[in-house]
Amino acid sequence: MASYENLRYEVDGFIATITIAREKALNALNRHTLNELTWALREADGDARVRAVILTGAGDKAFVAGADISEMVEQGATEARGFAQAGRAVGDVLENLSKPVIAAVNGFALGGGTELALACDFIYASDRAKFGQPEVNLGVIPGFGGTQRLPRRVGLARATELILTGDIIGADEALRIGLVNKVVPAAELLAEAKKCAEKIASKGPLAVAYARRALRKSVELTLSAGNDLEGELFALLFATQDQKEGMKAFLAKRPAKFEGK
């Protein structure tokens, strides 16, 4: 297991929890933290024990309060492009992971924090959570995928309003517009995320991975192409041990024992 300076990587059963741990900086994303996130996500993807991942922030104030402004303030265009590419790399890894990732948003998720959560498969939020893309207040725009993922999550009009006003919204409003899936009391957030992750981990790992791939591609493909992909992935699963085990267990009325093979 790799050692990280700004993250904690922990595995409990089938669940990996990655905690962004820059609490004094409200878990703000500097270049090193972005690189570590990329490495930790790849570690989780290659970890045979892991079937689902939870991404959260240390402390009770922030998930990720944003990108680290102190690192950005003096950047020129070339450096800013590199910084944006480091943020994009995290999103790209999340998009292409074979395992689902639940964002457990425990506090402020602003700018890069909202963008990071959006790149996860879905979001559970503390009742203290706050979301927003306030980059226009700083004279810039989202750089880690916010202008692309937020409209796909909440619709173009709502995303445009949030990004152009820089408004910050609470957890209940985020739930109402479809940005988050569930809002729970702060003390229950990780337990709820783990409960969901464990439920997913009890299913066929290959089926989960293939379903995730088809769902991710659904926003990019035409309906016909998406159905083609779904049919291909459906058929491929019939060449797996998990498919045989799942269906035999169903007929025998017993719990399936999936091995991801």
5 is catalytic: no
192 is catalytic: no
> What CATH code is assigned to 205-252?
1.10.12.10
| Per-residue pLDDT in tens (0 to 9) along the chain, 261 residues | 678 999 999 999 999 999 999 999 999 999 999 999 999 999 999 999 999 999 999 999 999 998 888 888 888 999 989 999 999 999 999 999 999 999 999 999 999 999 999 999 999 999 999 999 999 999 999 999 999 999 999 999 999 999 999 999 999 999 999 999 999 999 999 999 999 999 999 999 999 999 999 999 999 999 999 999 999 999 999 999 999 999 999 999 999 999 999
Per-residue confidence (pLDDT) for residue 74, from 0 to 100:
87
Report, at the CATH architecture level, how domain 7-201 is classified.
Alpha-Beta Complex (3.90)
Q: Catalytic: which of 36, 115, 192, 230?
A: 115
Per-residue confidence (pLDDT) for residue 1, from 0 to 100:
64
Which residues have a Cβ under 8 Å from the Cβ of 175 and sit 6 or more positions away? 125, 181, 182, 183
Query: Domain segments of the chain: what residues?
Result: 7-201, 205-252
> pTM of this prediction?
0.93
Per-residue confidence (pLDDT) for residue 75, from 0 to 100:
87
Per-residue confidence (pLDDT) for residue 71, from 0 to 100:
85
Per-residue confidence (pLDDT) for residue 73, from 0 to 100:
86
Q: Catalytic: which of 135, 173, 230, 232?
A: 135
Per-residue confidence (pLDDT) for residue 69, from 0 to 100:
86
